[in-house]
Structure 1
Amino acid sequence: MQGQDLGVLSSVALRTASGSIDEVLDLLRERRLVRGYPMRGTVFLGAARDLRWITELCSTGIVAQGRAAAEKSYGVGARELDSLREALHAHPAARGDGLTRAEYKELARKALPHLDHSQTGVIYRSLFQLIIEHDVVYSGWDGRDQRVALAEGILGPGLEELFEDRTAATAELMSRYFRTRGPATLADFRWWSKLKVSEIKKALPLLADDVDAVERDGDTVYVDTLLAERLPGMLKEAERPRLLPAFDEFILGYQDRLFAMTPKVHDVLVPRNRGVFRKAVVVGGTVRGAWTRSGSAGRRQLSMEAVATIPKSAAVPLRKRFEAYPFAVA
């Protein structure tokens, strides 16, 4: 799940049976959930056992592009990355609980004294490259954020160790996407993964047996085979009012977001369409507006900005959702 905002921890908690943030934070502390750059050059939260092979599948071109951009714009080339690797391996915290962002900045300043560290891109680009090349990973949980730790011993095996070839790996990722986000189209998966159309078509015959192709409105969508059995209960649940985190996969998991909201609501949820997403108020399966919390810890208040109509009958359920909301940081 897209994870540049720590609201992703709440997104995961809302999808667990318990709805508890503690369950998610335990997975972070155990380093079973980590963050990296598996696709689109964007931070994602995912299972540590899967992050390496998905990154190798979806980010082959981004690795080379990232290196070129880092060297051209900030002077972070192969020699600089090697110096950072050496410094990280020599730092006790990198093998333990990990480095805070401030500690990584200090390490980079000492390892690369010839660079201009007033440019924030030196830190961002070097860290991005070390993560996407599987040297380090965002892992653990210190109460407010994750830390930078050496990936060795945390990440699972790579693509070549797990799959016969890229086609088999593509089929596995595609099957997972349709199980968790279906009904969805091949175009949705193409947009989400950024894999080539030719690779997706080649992998299509290898989709898992529990993913079905269904014709809908002149298009083919792919869904979990058991969806038809689960649909009555799912529809009832989907109608209930809910509060979603910013950058939630309900909004970001598909090529066209307007299935979930009107253009007017979209303009409020994603101001000027610049990639910054607000928290969503959802009623009846559609986004009706945005929400925030205000006040100090222990005295939090729910504030909603309604764009489409929020029925009066939803007021109490939304208040209860807020009171039970799995905030990662109080």
Structure 2
Amino acid sequence: MRSMDVAERRARVAVRHRLAPGLRSDDVNDVVRSMVVLHATDPATVFLSVAARGRGIEPAHVEKALYEDRTLLRMLAMRRTMFIAPLELVPALQGSCADQLAAKQRRTYGRYLEQSGAVEGRIADWWREVEEETHAALLARGSATGAQLSKEVPRLRTQVNTAPDKPYAKPTNITTWVLVTLGCEGRIVRGRPNGSWSSSQYSWAPVESWLPQGIPALAAGEARVELVRAWLRTFGPAPLTDLKWWTGWTVAEVRKALAHLAIAEVDLDGVTGLVLADDLEPTAAPEPWAALLPALDPTPMGWQSRDWFLGPHAASLFDRSGNIGPSIWWDGRIVGGWAQRPDGEIAWRLLEDAGSAAKTAIAAEAARLGEWYGEVRPTPRFRTPLERELSA
């Protein structure tokens, strides 16, 4: 069994994740493809993840790819998490994750409607009718917010109390439920938000605005194989447990997808890792590099087992739900954290001694990041201990 030590895994991160300065790209789409997808639960993450890997890219270039060229699409996929994906990967994400999410959403919301007694007759039929009315209204408008659609489709204003016996109970209308379900089904997509690039107040548009023929259908099994191949190319070698965690699938589903690929097993310091069989060549390590990655960046969120790059810093950099905050990387490992202060300053702190060369490179990256932000002051959606302390 071929051995791949920590040094080689870190070299792969530098090269394949475009974090070494010489490997950064001036093309937004190339950056996204190199990471498979970008996390988008926090809208700012998308832009800051591109900033860390980009050369000569500005926020306007990301917006252009998303909302003018429409070569990237925002969708719910693995672990019911929001991602930005290149269009060519959307069918695999839809078939392997989103279709199942749509079915689960309908079951969940259907139970709430049944318990509330707000709907007479067969709930599944009623729900489908509301979906069709909403989709038709959006097709007619071309783009709309949830509030605008609820004015045109009165049944979107149906109110349901999901926790009637709880002190925090509060009736809510079903507008978001219907829109999210249609989004999971791949019929509508989140469009340009109101406000700056850090805003999450999205408008909605028909999927045909991005893909004129709609999302090509891909069977779940075939879709999983395609997604696993892409993940291994970017994040391999890694244990099967990391792949299961990232996809959110069962072990059986992961193993079935792997069975359709040529896979090699490698030794990761005593743990068995998986890698594509044609991807065993050593990776030459670039010159030492520094990177400031945002909260929920796809690099640290690409694996469940993180000791080989995280070290002892989890308590400072992760929240209680397992979401990573802004992190500082030096030559393939996390050495500290950073935050943006209200005046725009990028404050940072090392959690271990990385040496004078690291400090110089990190300071340069902090200055570059400050220029990227400009006048925008987003607050990370998931606050972590060090980020809170530095941003005060």
User: Aligning the two structures, in what range does the TM-score lie when normalised by the shorter sequence?
Assistant: 0.7 to 0.9
Identity value in percent? 23
Deviations 1:38-58 (A, max 9, x none): 221111111234324322212
**Within 2, Cα distance between the matches of 1:122 and 1:204?**
39
Aligned residue number for residue 275 of structure 2: 222
The correspondence of residues 124-203 of structure 1 with structure 2, limited to 5 A, is 124-140=176-192, 143-144=196-197, 145=199, 146-155=202-211, 157-160=215-218, 165-203=219-257
**Within 1, Cα distance between the matches of 2:145 and 2:240?**
39
Deviation, structure 1 residue 178: 0.8
Aligned residue number for residue 388 of structure 2: none
Q: Report the residue type matching 2:66 in the other structure.
A: L
Q: Report the residue type matching 1:183 in the other structure.
A: P
User: What SS is found at the alignment partner of 1:246?
Assistant: coil
- Structure 1 residue corresponding to 2:308, chosen from 253, 259, 264: 259
2:77 is the counterpart of 1:44 = no
Deviations 1:9-52 (A, max 9, x none): 32134334655444322210222111111221111111234324
Q: Decide whether aligned partners of structure 1 residues 304 and 82 sit closer, same or farther in structure 2, where only a CA change above 3 A counts.
A: farther
2:347 is the counterpart of 1:303 = yes
Aligned residue number for residue 13 of structure 2: none
The correspondence of residues 37-76 of structure 1 with structure 2, limited to 5 A, is 37-73=76-112
Deviations 1:147-167 (A, max 9, x none): 31111342453343xxxx544
**Within 1, Cα distance between the matches of 2:150 and 2:234?**
37
Structure 1: which 4+ aligned runs deviate by more than 6 Å? Answer: none
User: What SS is found at the alignment partner of 2:77?
Assistant: strand
Aligned residue number for residue 71 of structure 2: 32
Q: Report the residue type matching 2:316 in the other structure.
A: V
Deviation, structure 1 residue 182: 1.8
Q: CA RMSD in A?
A: 3.2
Q: Decide whether aligned partners of structure 1 residues 223 and 302 sit closer, same or farther in structure 2, where only a CA change above 3 A counts.
A: farther
**Within 1, Cα distance between the matches of 2:62 and 2:112?**
37
Aligned residue number for residue 240 of structure 1: 289
Deviation, structure 1 residue 328: 9.1
Q: Report the residue type matching 1:193 in the other structure.
A: T
After the TM superposition, which of the residue ranges 5-14 and 116-125 deviates more from structure 2? 116-125
**Within 2, Cα distance between the matches of 1:256 and 1:191?**
10
Q: Report the residue type matching 1:2 in the other structure.
A: H
Q: Decide whether aligned partners of structure 1 residues 93 and 167 sit closer, same or farther in structure 2, where only a CA change above 3 A counts.
A: closer
Native 8 Å contact 1:94 1:150 kept in 2: no
Aligned residue number for residue 384 of structure 2: none
Q: Which runs of 5+ in 1 are unaligned?
A: none
Q: Decide whether aligned partners of structure 1 residues 90 and 203 sit closer, same or farther in structure 2, where only a CA change above 3 A counts.
A: closer
Q: Decide whether aligned partners of structure 1 residues 49 and 140 sit closer, same or farther in structure 2, where only a CA change above 3 A counts.
A: farther
TM-score by length of 1: 0.79
2:56 is the counterpart of 1:10 = no
Deviation, structure 1 residue 252: 0.9
Q: Decide whether aligned partners of structure 1 residues 114 and 276 sit closer, same or farther in structure 2, where only a CA change above 3 A counts.
A: same
Aligned residue number for residue 283 of structure 1: 330
Deviations 1:130-177 (A, max 9, x none): 2111121113466434431111342453343xxxx5443322211110
Aligned residue number for residue 318 of structure 2: 270
Deviations 1:99-156 (A, max 9, x none): 3455456566x44333259645734433321211112111346643443111134245
**Within 2, Cα distance between the matches of 1:48 and 1:106?**
32
**Within 2, Cα distance between the matches of 1:260 and 1:188?**
14
User: What SS is found at the alignment partner of 1:152?
Assistant: helix
After the TM superposition, which of the residue ranges 84-93 and 60-69 deviates more from structure 2? 84-93
Native 8 Å contact 1:13 1:20 kept in 2: yes
**Within 2, Cα distance between the matches of 1:181 and 1:90?**
41
Native 8 Å contact 1:185 1:222 kept in 2: no
**Within 2, Cα distance between the matches of 1:102 and 1:323?**
40
**Within 2, Cα distance between the matches of 1:159 and 1:328?**
41
**Within 1, Cα distance between the matches of 2:39 and 2:223?**
20
Native 8 Å contact 2:73 2:84 kept in 1: yes
